[in-house]
Homo-oligomer: A and B are copies of this chain.
Amino acid sequence: MQNHLLLKALKGEPVKRPPVWMMRQAGRYLPSYMELRRKYDFFTRVQTPQLACEITLQPVDQIGVDAAILFSDILVVPQAMGLDVQLIEHKGPYLPKTIQSHSDISRLESDEAADKLQYVYDAIRLIKKELNGKVPLIGFAGAPFTILCYMVEGKGSKNFERARQFCVSKPLEAHSLLSKITDVTIQYLIRQVKAGADVIQVFDSWSGLLSPSDFSKFARPYLIQIANELSAHAPVILFPKGSWYALEDLAVNSKASALGVDWCISPLTARTLTAGRVTLQGNFDPAHLHLSPEDITQEVHDMIRQFGPQRYIVNLGHGITPDVPVQNAKAFVEAVKSFKS
């Protein structure tokens, strides 16, 4: 590996500057991605290793990030478990058949689901070959609670009210479903590592909708199970978006190497809660990528000073939005590279 920054930051080893990557860095703000998006539909892009590879490499080549992240989607897991997952233009994901009962859950594929994601492992092998050690590759999956949200609600939602009601009013079904998703996810992520992923990130995009008490029931055990089993294979980053109240607990009680934080917590509070026990990743507000490149540079330097440059991975607090000018994304990355302690 030529660029060790991410792996060192995850191990807590000293670095001369923190590593930087951006959630959704292979995405719609990049004109080269938009070209492929016009030619191939979403699942063709995800399921064709050559396309997934090309898209994954674009921000490495064009923006200069310190890590590649597999181009894929968290909903390939429910798909591999047998659910129909559609992507409706301008509306987002749609699952016509949702999960509501024990019998729905029992029909979900479990043992062989990870086998159906061979195209992901093929993409990873191809990406690793093309990267040729330039930067590490991050594999990923959705966390079980977030996957449950889509399986039960059937589409995106502001509060995932139905999914949360399902957990609260049918806890046995919820835990049965969460366990099944967890088992598949662990197999899937281990196979991503075996195919070449250097780091694993687990996205709990909707865990912040849960009260601390419900988080401890419906999100925490499964996040910890995944982190602890995967940590034997590769460093794990957990990103329970919005669940600031869980940072201390996850820092102490999980084997995650890093925790992601969104922008709704100050760097100082995040550091205080985790007390130097884990690497932190985040948390630039993507809305600030609409500032001038000079102001972005200033704010990135301030953010690094606030987190401190060690045990820290510079990232956004959420995915980069499609309307960010490419030069501003570059300014974000360049700011990290020009940082002097």
Interface residues of A (CB under 8 A from B): 156, 158-159, 161, 164-165, 167-169, 208-214, 242, 244-245, 263-266, 269, 283, 285-288, 290-291, 317-318, 321
Contact = CB atoms under 8 A, between A and B. Distances in A.
Contact of A209 (B164, B169, B210, B264): B264
A320 to B, nearest CB: 11
Nearest to A322: B161
Given A161-B286, A214-B285, 7 more contacts: A165-B287, A208-B264, A211-B264, A211-B285, A212-B264, A242-B264, A245-B266
A321 B161 contact: yes
Nearest to A283: B211
A212 B169 contact: no
A105 B320 CA distance: 29
B165 A290 contact: yes
A185 to B, nearest CB: 24
Contacts of A242: 264
Contact of A285 (B164, B266, B286, B288): B164
A210 B287 CA distance: 10
Nearest to A170: B290
A92 to B, nearest CB: 10
A114 B181 CA distance: 54
Contacts of A269: 212, 245
A291 B245 contact: no
A287 B317 CA distance: 27
Contacts of A167: 287
A333 to B, nearest CB: 19
Nearest to A164: B287
B288 A264 contact: no
Contacts of A318: 159
A158 B161 contact: no
Nearest to A156: B158
Nearest to A215: B264
A240 to B, nearest CB: 12
6 contacts: A158-B158, A164-B285, A165-B287, A208-B264, A211-B283, A211-B317
Contact of A266 (B168, B213, B264): B213
A62 to B, nearest CB: 23
Nearest to A262: B211
A265 B212 contact: yes
A211 B267 CA distance: 10
A321 B159 CA distance: 11
Contacts of A321: 161
A159 B208 CA distance: 14
Nearest to A243: B264
B245 A265 contact: yes
Contacts of A288: 168
Nearest to A285: B211
B290 A169 contact: yes
